[in-house]
């Protein structure tokens, strides 16, 4: 059931949101994205004539109350964004909450205190989840960022709402985007995988090989593949103990008919430094004292051709050290290609890791189909794992 199947009139919706937002030294919210992302769900409930009880974590208080991580700091920001003055209780369970919930009227919003002030939250404690469950008639999970954790508020609480639980709009969009890439997307399907190390992406690669037509490999991962195939990588980042794994990935890809595209040239530098000397070198012949830090021009042309003919695109991981302007060009070029393919009708999902930061930094956010809000949750989804927070809703 989707949220649109429910009418929240006179109902209290218990909503797990992800308001784990960054605060500055004055405890002001410095990035409101996560609050804005939850707005459509909250508005739908209020417009139906219901009330919203919001629960979230903030930071890592490790089971103890910590005033620096109180959700009271975000009340004004949430009120401004939603357009309704939010009420706050300095607890998430107990008699004070019971009273505030009892008094809550249709159209009102109540924000509960940081769930992680109680160790029971992350422990997935059943009694704690049962206490939370008392606060709502319907349970709505709209927190993709924590959907991979079997915590009390994300997973365990859902068992108390048989037939009365659903995903919020944000979580539903995340699930749809993953499904499009993994199952229903138009072919050709292309995955662009970058980032530092092959070891952190191996499970993703093995899971998606059955679902894609093209695999573009970039970033630091490149050099383990280059070394595995007998090339020289100079001082580039490389995992020599993973070369067998790299060869096995290439063999699996061949067997499954997936075309693998590795860099043929790279921007090599004589130091890991934005001001370093740079030279374009063949990806498989990097000289000693030099390291590959970005994709080269020939490589980017080849990547462009593949990306532009793709109908479904997954992008995970930058193709260079994009944090340094001297080595950001490759990642920007890939972003431009993904944006162009999207404007030509492709579906593009950017998710799980630093490619999200890159897409935001370089202004591609509105030019791709979907940018995931959950790092770890997206990575686990791409690895093919069932997320406990999602399963808990789907179990009915
Ligand atoms: P990940 O979190 O696995 O997506 O890795 C992202 C990190 O990989 C970023 O911080 C990039 O700077 C880094 N990275 C990308 N390309 C390279 C490279 N050629 N050498 C070293 N680090 C790289």
- Dihedral (C-alpha) 211, 216, 219, 225: value to the nearest 10 degrees? 90
Ligand 1 atom at minimum distance from 200 CA: 3
Distance of CA 174 to the CA centre of its chain: 9
Give the highest mean pLDDT range of 124-133, 194-203, 366-375. 124-133
Summarize pLDDT for 351-388 with one digit per residue, the tens.
987 888 899 999 999 999 999 988 899 999 999 999 99
Compute, in angstroms, the gap from residue 355 CA to the centroid of ligand 1. Answer: 10
Reading phi first (left if > 0) and then psi (alpha if -120 to 50, else beta), residue 63 is in left
The domains located in the chain, with CATH, are: 3-167 (3.40.50.1260), 174-382 (3.40.50.1260)
> What is the spatial distance between Cα 201 and Cα 195, in angstroms, rounded to a whole number?
9
Q: What is the pTM of this model?
A: 0.92
- The sheet with strand 214-217 has its strands ordered as 259-261, 214-217, 189-193, 312-316, 347-350, 370-371
Long-range contacts of 76-83 (CB under 8 A, 24+ apart): 77/21, 77/28, 77/29, 77/32, 77/35, 78/19, 78/35, 78/54, 78/109, 78/111, 81/32, 81/35, 81/36, 81/39, 82/39, 82/42, 82/43, 82/109
Compute, in angstroms, the gap from residue 327 CA to the centroid of ligand 1. Answer: 11
Among protein residues, the one with the nearest Cα to ligand 1's atom 12 is 321
Among protein residues, the one with the nearest Cα to ligand 1's atom 6 is 195
Ligand 1 atom at minimum distance from 355 CA: 4
Give the count of alpha carbons within 13 A of 359, CB side only. 27
Compute, in angstroms, the gap from residue 55 CA to the centroid of ligand 1. Answer: 34
286, 317, 319: which to mutate for ligand 1, most atoms within 8 A of CB?
A: 317
231, 287 Cβ separation under 8 angstroms: no
Residue 220 has what pLDDT?
96
Residue 374 has what pLDDT?
84
29, 84 Cβ separation under 8 angstroms: no
Express as a percent the part of the chain with pLDDT over 90: 95
Asked whether the predicted pLDDT for residue 1 surpasses 90, the reply is no
354, 359, 375, 379: which to mutate for ligand 1, most atoms within 8 A of CB?
A: 354
Ligand 1 atom at minimum distance from 292 CA: 19
Mean pLDDT (the chain, rounded): 96
Cα 213–Cα 241–Cα 203 angle in degrees, nearest 5: 35
Q: Which residues are catalytic?
A: 34, 197, 353, 376
Residue 338 has what pLDDT?
98
- Where does ligand 1 bind, in terms of residues with CB under 6 Å? 194-196, 200, 219-220, 237, 292-293, 317-318, 320-321, 323, 353-354
Strands 278-282 and 259-261 come out as: unpaired
pLDDT tier, 255 (very low <50, low <70, confident <90, very high otherwise): very high
296, 263 Cβ separation under 8 angstroms: yes
């Amino acid at each position: 059931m989707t949220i649109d199947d429910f009418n929240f009139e006179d109902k209290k919706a218990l909503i797990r949101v992800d308001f784990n937002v960054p605060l500055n030294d004055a405890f002001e919210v410095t990035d409101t994205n996560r609050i804005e992302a939850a707005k459509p769900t909250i508005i739908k409930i209020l417009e139906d004539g219901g009330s919203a009880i919001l629960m979230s974590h903030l930071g890592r208080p490790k089971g103890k109350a910590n005033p620096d991580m109180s959700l009271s700091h975000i009340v004004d920001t949430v009120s401004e964004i939603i357009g309704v003055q939010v009420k706050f209780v300095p607890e998430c369970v107990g008699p004070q909450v019971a009273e505030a919930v009892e008094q809550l009227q249709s159209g009102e919003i109540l924000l509960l205190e940081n769930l992680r002030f109680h160790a029971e939250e992350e422990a997935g404690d059943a009694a704690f989840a049962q206490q939370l469950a008392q606060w709502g008639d319907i349970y709505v999970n709209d927190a993709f960022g924590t959907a991979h954790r079997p915590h009390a508020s994300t997973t365990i609480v859902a068992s108390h709402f048989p037939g009365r639980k659903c995903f919020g709009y944000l979580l539903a969009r995340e699930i749809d985007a993953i499904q499009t890439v993994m199952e229903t997307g138009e072919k050709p399907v292309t995955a662009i995988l970058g980032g530092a190390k092959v070891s952190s992406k191996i499970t993703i690669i093995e899971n998606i090989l059955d679902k894609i037509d093209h695999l573009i490999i970039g970033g630091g991962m490149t050099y383990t593949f280059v070394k595995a195939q007998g090339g020289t990588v100079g001082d580039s980042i490389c995992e020599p103990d993973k070369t067998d794994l790299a060869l096995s990935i290439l063999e699996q890809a061949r067997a499954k008919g997936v075309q693998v595209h590795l860099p043929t040239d790279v921007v090599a530098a004589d130091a890991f430094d934005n001001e370093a000397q740079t030279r374009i070198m063949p990806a498989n012949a990097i000289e000693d004292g030099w390291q590959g830090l970005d994709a080269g021009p020939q490589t980017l042309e080849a990547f462009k051709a593949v990306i532009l003919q793709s109908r479904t695109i997954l992008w995970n991981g930058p193709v260079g050290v994009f944090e340094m302007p001297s080595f950001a060009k490759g990642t920007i070029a890939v972003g431009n290609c993904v944006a162009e393919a999207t404007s030509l009708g492709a579906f593009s999902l950017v998710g799980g890791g630093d490619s999200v930061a890159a897409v935001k930094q370089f202004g591609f956010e509105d030019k791709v189909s979907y940018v995931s809000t959950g790092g770890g949750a997206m990575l686990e989804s791409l690895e093919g794992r069932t997320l406990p927070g999602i399963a808990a809703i789907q179990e009915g």
